[in-house]
Amino acid sequence: MRPKRLKATEYAAPAVMGQDRRGLGVSLPKGGQWVAGGFSRRTQALQPASPEGTAERDDRPAAGHCRPSGTGPSVRRDPAAEAASNRLLSLRDSDSVLPVVGRRTEDRQDRTRRFFGGRALARIQRSRVLVVGVGAVGNEVAKNLALVGVRRLTLVDPDTVELSNLNRCIFFHEADVGRKKVHVARRALRAAAPATEVVAVPRPIQEAPEEVWDADVVALCVDDELARYYVNARLLGERRPVPVVNGAMGRTWAETTVLVPGQTACLVCLWSEEYLRGVLSEDVRRRCDAFFQAARVRFPAISVLTSLVGAVSSTEVVKLLARSPEELPPATGKRLRYDVRRHDFLVQDIVPNPQCVDAMCRKKRAASRVPRDKTEAE
């Protein structure tokens, strides 16, 4: 006899949403337990409501699914499926960046390891990053790097929290107004990522101690061109090449540049002599004129743009730390710009300037051309 067709409201729903032991979101009947049987997930079909108002359960398993234990005849174990499950679980510590299907664990970095692979994550967890500027962009970058497992973050910023910062800074609250940004951020980061060491330096980068430069990557998150000029000069003077990821933003665009000063273009290769003089003269006014500092026009900023800059910048930092160029190549020597008006995303190569305003950049550029010129002459 053909079954009676019922309205949707006449169906009983004995199942609830949950997760199986492999972390897959599926529909689980209440009280049921998982039984071995490979990677098939079980479901329970909705049954018509009985006249008494209670749900009748069909003991027949749905096609292609396992039966919950304790709800009917036992289900035979599948040795081949169990062996496949164990083989997949053994991939957890490999260098594969493919998602690994396995039992749910209490490992804090389980999802991160599934993304990067074990070896790349280990490199990230040994890394040190210098974050210059802990405002809106710095909040985002520091948060992302801490959550991904970076071993040590050094935060450098002399400023205090202001009320106008709260519209875009996830770590700052009204009670923090007047406190040093680096101290507030350190407290929040320790709570969010206890395994990450956070060093707070409440000084301008020009006055920071020598130890802060012991870093694998520098993340520039400042709206201060003089700080960029100083960081660039410092990195050009380093014996080992240190990548720098520079975040910037305009009224409607967000931008990230990934450079290795001395090997690629430097941070000021696109500056003109006139622009450099303007940056230096502004610094003189800033030091000598308190009124100038107080009367500076504040740049418009919203959390949407600062989040975009922080996301792209921290992504490039992590790619540099993971050192997996085949899977996650960093955008070294490039500028990435996103404009929110028309959703334009532009990738540009930054060409080194042989007439760079920084003398050290010009010197390194000339030195890098000597071997090639000699080879061509021979």
Which residues does 2 contact at the CB level (< 8 Å), separation at least 6?
A: none
Of 100, 125, 126, the residue nearest 114 (C-alpha): 100
Segment holding 344, helix H or strand E: strand 344-349
Q: Which residue has the higher pLDDT, 83 or 336?
A: 336
Q: Indicate the DSSP class of residue 31.
A: T
- 290 is written with which tokens? 């308190």
Give the pLDDT band of residue 343 (cuts 50, 70, 90): very high
Closest CA to 44 of 70, 7, 22, 23: 70
β-strands 152-156, 197-201 pairing:
parallel
The kind and range of the H/E element at 283 are helix 273-288
Q: How confident is the model at residue 88 (pLDDT cuts 50, 70, 90)?
A: very low
Residue 37 pLDDT > 90, yes or no?
A: no
Looking at residue 46, what is its pLDDT?
36
For 86, counting Cβ atoms within 10 Å of its Cβ (0-12 exposed, 13-18 middle, 19+ buried), the class is exposed
Taking 70 as the threshold, does the pLDDT of residue 6 lie above it? no
C-alpha angle with apex 315: 89 to 111, nearest 5 degrees?
A: 20
Please, what is the Cα angle at 266 between 265 and 269, to 5 degrees? Answer: 80
Tell me what pLDDT residue 290 has.
58
Tell me what pLDDT residue 295 has.
56
Average pLDDT over residues 46-61: 43
- Choose the weakest-confidence range: 1-15, 64-78, 307-321: 1-15
- The region of weakest confidence among 172-181, 322-331, 360-369 is 360-369
Distance of CA 241 to the CA centre of its chain: 23
Provide the whole-model pTM: 0.70
Choice among 53-57, 151-155, 182-186, 251-255 with the minimum mean pLDDT? 53-57
User: Which residue segments constitute the domains of the chain, with CATH numbers given?
Assistant: 1-105 (no CATH), 118-361 (3.40.50.720)
Q: What's the pLDDT at 300? A: 82
Residue appearing with tokens 């042989």: 354
Enumerate the β-bridge partners of residue 155. 131, 200
Segment 77-93 mean pLDDT: 52
**Each residue's pLDDT tens digit, 110-169:** 999 999 999 999 999 999 999 999 999 999 999 999 999 999 999 999 999 999 999 999
For residue 332, is pLDDT > 70? Answer: yes
Share of the chain above pLDDT 70, in %: 65
CA 134 – CA 148 distance, rounded (Å): 18
Contacts for 243 with CB less than 8 Å, ≥ 6 apart: 216, 217, 218, 258, 259, 260, 320, 330, 332
What is the pLDDT, as a whole number, of residue 347? 96
